[in-house]
Structure 1
Amino acid sequence: MLDVIRSLKSLLKTSRVRIDNTVFRLHYTVTVLVLLTFTIVVSMKQFVGDPIDCLKSREVTESYVNTYCWIHTTFSMPNTYNKEVGKEIPYPGVGSNTESMDELKYHKYYQWVCFTLFFQAALFYIPRWLWKLWEGGKIQALMMDLDVGMCGEAEKKQKKKLLVEYLASSQRHHDWYAARYFICETLAFANVVGQMFLINKFFDGEFLTYGLEVIRFSEMDQEDRLDPMIRIFPRVAKCKLFKYGASGNLETHDAMCLLPLNIVNEKIYIFLWFWFIVLAALTGMVLVCRIILVVCPPVRVYYLNFRFRTVHLDHLHTVVRRGSLGDWFLMYMLGQNIDSMIFKEVVTDMANRLTRAPKDSTA
C-alpha cells in the first residue's frame, strides 16, 4: 500500500521541463490522482469488510444471501419513490412485490465501480503518454541548462549561439511537432466529454443530469423532494433469490439489503460530475484559443508578448512573421523553460539574424 501511495505522489511532482500547459496537466496529474485514490477507497470498502448486508429468512444463511445478492444484483421499485417513508414504505424504492419484472430498476454497477475508476484513470493518462512519446525530449535538449540564469558569460553566449543557429536553420520544420501537441489536447477534451457519456451509459442514463438534479434537490422543500443520490445510489434495495425446499418445491425468498458502499459512490460521482464539467469547459476554452492562433497569425505575436513581457514587441513581430505556426509553438515552449532574460536575448538575436537574411530564403 505504501508503494501505491508513493507512486500516486509522483504524479504531483513538478517537472523541471514543461512541455504542456496547466489545463493539460490537470488531466494527467490531478484527475488521474483523484481517480486512482477513489479506486483505492472503493476497493478497500468493497473487498475489506461487508459491501452488502441483507436481512434474511431463517431458512437461508446470511453469507449465502449476501453473496447471492451481491453477485446477482439488487433492485428498486421506482413507483414507490413518492410514497411516504415510515407509513407506506420502509425506504424509498423498497415496497411490496406487486410490480412486474419490467417495472423494477436493477442496480448492476456496484461490483464494477473500482475497475471502472481505474480504467478512467488510464484513459486520462493516454494523451500525456502519447505527447511525451511524440515530444521525445526535444525541449529538454534545446534548453541546454539555460533555465539556470547563473552561468558563465562565455558558456551562456555559446549556448545561445547554438540555439539561435538551430532555430534559424530549422525554420518551418516544426509544424508537425505543434500539430501533435494540438492533437493530444484535442484527445484530452474528447476523453473528458466521452467519459461523461461512458459513465452515463454505466448508470443507465442517469449521470448526465446527476449534478443538476442534486442542485435542484438542495433548493426544493423538505417535504416534496427526493434525493437523486438515493435513486441512483440506493442505500437500501431489494433482492429476490430462489431455492428448493425440503419437499423439492421451488421457494422464493425476498431480502432487503443495505448497500453501505453506495454512500461512498454517491459522493465520488457527484464530485466527478462537477470536476468533469469544469475540466471540459477549461479544455474547450484552450482549444478555442488554439483555433484562433492557427487561423489568425497576428494574435500569436500578442500572445507571446502577453506571456513574455520582457521581450521587445518588434522582435516578436519579426520572429513570428518570418516563421510558421510550428516555429511559434517551439518558441513559446522554449520561453516557458529557459531563463526570461536569456529568452529575451535569444529572441533578439533571432530577430536580428532574420532581418539581415534575405526574405526569400525564409519563405
Structure 2
Amino acid sequence: MSLFGLVSSVAGFIKVRYLIEKAIIDNMVFRCHYRLTSAVLFLCCMLVTANNLIGDPISCINDGAVPGHVINTYCWITYTFTLPGQHGRPVGTSVAHSGLGNEYNQERTYHSYYQWVPFMLFFQGILFYMPHWIWKNWEEGKMRMISDGLRGNMTLGVGERKGRQTRLAKYLCESKNTHNAYSFGYFICEALNFINVVGNIFFVDKFLGGAFLTYGSDVLKFSDMDQENRSDPMIEVFPRVTKCTFHKYGASGSIQKHDALCVLALNILNEKIYIFLWFWFIILSVLSGLAILYSAAILMMPTTREAVLKRRFRTATAKQIETFIRRIQIGDFLMIHLLGQNINVTSYCEVLNSFISMLNEEQALRRDTPSAPSTLEMAPIYPEIGKYDKEKAALHQEYEA
C-alpha cells in the first residue's frame, strides 16, 4: 500500500467541511479529539503495518542450525529481550549493540509489545472517537435542523431569510427552558474527552512497561548529548537489536539452546510515533483541562455567559444582554452559543433580537392578563349565602304554620 493511499484513507477525519454541509455542534478542542487525534492514530496504525516502508518487521540471525523463517516467526510471536545493565556501554568495544551482552546472572527486559502496536493504535483511535459518537447521538441533529437554510446560505432572498429567522426565533421562544438535558450531554462528553486523554497516557505507560510517563522528558534530557556516550531512552524503550533464545532437540534427544540476534526494524517507526504521541497527549490534556474550566465558568457564572454572548451579539447593549442571560437557562444559552457558530453574525443578531422581542411580548401578555379571583377575595360572599339560606328556611316554616 502506498503512502499516498494511507493518507487518503484517513483524510475524511480532518478535511475541512463547509458549514452548509455539516453543522458545528462542539468546540475546537472537542474536534481535536475525534478528528485530528483519531486520524493520527489510525494513520500510525497503517504505517506500522505497511511492510513496504521498512521491510520485514523482524529479522533474526543465528548459528544456522535453525532455519531463518522459523526463528523469525518464533521470535515475533513470543518475545525478545535486552539487558538493562548493558545500555550506555561503548558499542563495538564493550558490547555489540546497546542492551546486549553476556546474559549470565543479569536482569532481562522482555519486549513483546511490538506484536500489539497496530491493535493498540487502532483501539486508541476508537477511544478518542467515542465521546463524539456519544454526543452526536445525544444531539440527534438538532442544531443541523434548526439552522438549516441559514447555515452558509448566502443566496436567499430578503423575505425568505427573514421568514426563516422568525421561525427560528419562535422555536427558541417556545422551547425555552427545555434544553438542559441537551447541555448536560455536551458537558458530560467534554469531561469524557479529558478523562480519555489522561487515561490514554497511563494506558500506554502500562502497555510499554512503565516507560511512557517519562519518555518524552528523558528524550529531551539526552537530546543534546553525543549519541556515542549516552544511554538513549528511545533505544532502551524501542531497541533496534534484541536477543532471542530458541530451544530444540538434538540428534541424541538432548535439548539444545540457540541464541539469535533480532533486528526490529519496526521500532524505527515506533520510537517516532510514541515520542510524538507523548507530546501530543500532554498538549491535548492541558487544552482539555482548560476547556473543562471554561465550561465550568459558563455553567456557574452568568457574567461569563454575558461576556461570551457579547462577542457575537453586537447590536445589543450590555444591559440588554445581562437581562437576557438572566431570563434563560444554561441549556438555552448552549443552543444560542452553538447557533452563533453556524450562522453569520447579521442573521444571528436578527434572530436574537426577534427572540428577545417575543420574550418581552410574552411577559407583557402575562402581566396584562387578569388572574382568577382567589379564595380570599371570595370569602366575604360565603356569609351572605348562609344568611340567605337561613331567611328562606324561616319563611318556609312560617308558611307551614
* TM-score above 0.5, yes or no: yes
Matched, 1:53 2:59: yes
Q: 1:308–1:246: structure 2 CA closer, same or farther, 3 Å change rule?
A: farther
TM-superposed CA distance for 1:69, in Å, is: 1.1
Following the alignment from structure 2 to structure 1, what is the Cα–Cα distance between the partners of residues 193 and 122?
17
Q: 1:325–1:146: structure 2 CA closer, same or farther, 3 Å change rule?
A: same
What residue is the counterpart of 1:328 in the other structure?
333
What residue is the counterpart of 1:37 in the other structure?
43
What residue is the counterpart of 2:165 in the other structure?
160
1:196 touches 1:276 (CA, 8 Å); kept in 2?
yes
1:114 to 111, 118, 131: 118
In the alignment, residue 64 of structure 1 is paired with which amino acid?
V
Following the alignment from structure 1 to structure 2, what is the Cα–Cα distance between the partners of residues 313 and 149?
29
In the alignment, residue 163 of structure 1 is paired with which amino acid?
L
Identity of matched residues, %: 43
2:245 to 234, 240, 249: 240
Q: 1:353–1:279: structure 2 CA closer, same or farther, 3 Å change rule?
A: same
Gaps of 5+ in 2: 368-401
What residue is the counterpart of 2:231 in the other structure?
226
1:58 alignment partner, SS class: coil
Following the alignment from structure 1 to structure 2, what is the Cα–Cα distance between the partners of residues 71 and 223?
32
TM-superposed CA distance for 1:360, in Å, is: 11
What residue is the counterpart of 2:140 in the other structure?
136
CA deviations 1:297-351 (Å, max 9, x no partner) are 1210111213554554444323211000001100001111112101101111222
1:316 touches 1:347 (CA, 8 Å); kept in 2?
no
What residue is the counterpart of 1:74 in the other structure?
80
1:256 alignment partner, SS class: strand
Following the alignment from structure 1 to structure 2, what is the Cα–Cα distance between the partners of residues 290 and 201?
31
Q: 1:360–1:38: structure 2 CA closer, same or farther, 3 Å change rule?
A: farther
1:172 alignment partner, SS class: coil
Matched, 1:357 2:362: yes
Q: 1:7–1:91: structure 2 CA closer, same or farther, 3 Å change rule?
A: closer
What residue is the counterpart of 1:304 in the other structure?
309
CA deviations 1:165-202 (Å, max 9, x no partner) are 11111111111101101111111111111111110000
Q: 1:326–1:138: structure 2 CA closer, same or farther, 3 Å change rule?
A: same
Q: 1:99–1:160: structure 2 CA closer, same or farther, 3 Å change rule?
A: same
Q: 1:291–1:96: structure 2 CA closer, same or farther, 3 Å change rule?
A: same
How many residues align? The count is: 360
Following the alignment from structure 2 to structure 1, what is the Cα–Cα distance between the partners of residues 364 and 80?
74
Q: Using the TM superposition, name which of 326-335 and 79-88 deviates more.
A: 79-88
In the alignment, residue 285 of structure 1 is paired with which amino acid?
L
Gaps of 5+ in 1: none
1:358 alignment partner, SS class: helix
Q: 1:307–1:275: structure 2 CA closer, same or farther, 3 Å change rule?
A: farther
Q: 1:7–1:360: structure 2 CA closer, same or farther, 3 Å change rule?
A: farther
Following the alignment from structure 2 to structure 1, what is the Cα–Cα distance between the partners of residues 208 and 339?
45
CA deviations 1:231-290 (Å, max 9, x no partner) are 000001111110111111100111111111101100000001101111111111011000
What residue is the counterpart of 1:178 in the other structure?
183
Greater CA radius of gyration, 1 or 2? 2
Q: 1:243–1:360: structure 2 CA closer, same or farther, 3 Å change rule?
A: farther
1:311 touches 1:347 (CA, 8 Å); kept in 2?
no
Structure 2 length as normaliser, TM-score? 0.85
1:73 touches 1:239 (CA, 8 Å); kept in 2?
yes
RMSD after superposition: 2.2
